[in-house]
Amino acid sequence: MDCGKQNHGSAIMGKVTRLSWSPLLLLITLILILSFQITTRTIYPIRLMSGLSEPEVSEVVGSCVGFLREFPRREVIMSIKDFGGVGDGKTSNTDTFRRAILYMQRFGDKGGSQLNVPKGRWLTGSFNLTSNFTLFLEEGAVILGSQDPKEWPIIEPLPSYGRGRERLGGRHISLIHGNGLSNVVITGDNGTIDGQGKMWWELWWNRTLVHTRGHLVELMNSHNILISNLTFRNSPFWTIHPVYCSNVVVKDMTILAPLNAPNTDGIDPDSSTNVCIEDCYIESGDDLVAVKSGWDQYGIKMAHPSSNILVKRVAGTTPTCSGVGIGSEMSGGIFNVTIEDLHVWDSAAGVRIKTDKGRGGYISNITISNITMERVKIPIRFSRGSNDHPDEGWDRNAIPVVKGVSISNIVSLNSTKAPVLQGIKDAPFGGICMKNVTLIGLASASWHCEFISGFAKDVFPMPCPQLQNNASTSWCSYS
């Protein structure tokens, strides 16, 4: 309890000293109940239209402190039911969500608004958020993605990709979308957003997909974003995609997709800065977390890097990809990435850097530490040969630069292979620093290294010769 509440309590006690204890206890109990009911439905102070007192501030805590600015007070709180929403899992609420947010947009310059989604199954197509806005899913609330592709409209490709990531031309909009927004929160009492992606996966498997699939949540050109305390399921494509954004926190999330669901990445910060991903559990058919920054000549031209990315206390599994991947789309540059306290099991790779000729750009100042892996095929992998390009306009002379990768305090149990570190012939990966890396139970203990250079200390089994160079270690700090 903070000082403000203590003083408030003292004032109440001063006014009721002449009351009997029974009414006093009843009054205190009532106040506590009301306070609990309000604070569990909001994440920061709001001013209710009914005039109820304001609850306590609930702050973002942990390593993400400082990534977000204070959110404005929400002046208006309404339920999707107020707009005629029907939570039976069958009735389309697409127009209802769009109409509700259009109405609540009018309060954006008056402190903002909050739309509550109560218990129920709320079927909807895509809808856009607005600034100074909170989407709050109460306990038992499930937002279901429409099975009608027409309710996922086609929008322009991202300028840093030049086309849809999977197909030429435009792409389907995400289920929940926003562009040019600020001060947006998507949260709740562990409600669920289910993209019902199987329809989209089958289009991919059957090679009948016409346009690139939509994400579950995509926010573009936006600032001061919090996504927390929800379960996201069955995204058609990448699940959470902040692109050209700044000051983004994704925290306390559960993200689930079948392990064979194609390209269902968990969280993909893309050409974004000041992003914190913390305390998330992810099961996916692709990377749990993938840091990106544009595709070949389009990413090079836009030159919008991803920087100041923190990934901490993420756990999960992906049989085909990695716990955290950097690239392969990294043409705008990626720097200042910290990955800590990662736990990955039954996966293709633990941490992976992916790039190729034609990407251009750079990857620098990457710190990876305190990683636990179990039954991961290749615990540490640097790979080339992505061999996918947006069109024939890619530049064969655009060679990426990878330099300054620190990897420490790694434990891997029962991996299939020792690390595979493959740089690029015309641009070796430099400044690779490894310390205290222990790989136990390897089926093959021989490292495979090409076109890399660096230094290793306290690494088992013995690393490749390219990491045994003791000539100069001043750049490799072990403090």
Element counts in the chain: helices (H) and strands (E): 5, 31
- Angstrom distance (rounded) from CA 327 to CA 310: 16
Q: Do 74 and 46 touch, CB atoms closer than 8 A?
A: yes
- Tell me the C-alpha to C-alpha distance, in Å, between residue 53 and each of 44, 396, 422: 13, 63, 60
Q: Do 325 and 301 touch, CB atoms closer than 8 A?
A: no
Question: Residue length, the chain?
Answer: 479
- Tell me the C-alpha to C-alpha distance, in Å, between residue 121 and each of 102, 139, 144, 145: 22, 12, 7, 10
DSSP single-letter state for residue 347: -
Order the strands of the 448-450 sheet from edge to edge.
Answer: 289-291, 322-326, 349-354, 378-383, 420-422, 448-450
Assigned token pair, 69:
């600015």
Other C-beta atoms closer than 10 Å to the C-beta of 89 total 11
Residues 6 or more apart whose Cβ sits within 8 Å of residue 65: 59
- Tell me the C-alpha to C-alpha distance, in Å, between residue 335 and each of 93, 361, 363, 367, 385: 41, 10, 6, 10, 21
Q: How far is CA 226 from the centre of its chain?
A: 10
Other C-beta atoms closer than 10 Å to the C-beta of 94 total 15
Q: Do 40 and 189 touch, CB atoms closer than 8 A?
A: yes
Q: Do 218 and 174 touch, CB atoms closer than 8 A?
A: yes
351 three-class SS: strand
Which is catalytic among the residues 286, 287, 296, 356? 286
Q: Please indicate whether residue 279 is annotated as part of the active site.
A: no
- Angstrom distance (rounded) from CA 280 to CA 134: 20
Pick the closest to residue 240 from 191, 188, 249, 323 (CA basis).
249
- Tell me the C-alpha to C-alpha distance, in Å, between residue 61 and each of 58, 65, 250: 9, 6, 12
- Angstrom distance (rounded) from CA 171 to CA 165: 8
| Residues known to be catalytic | 286
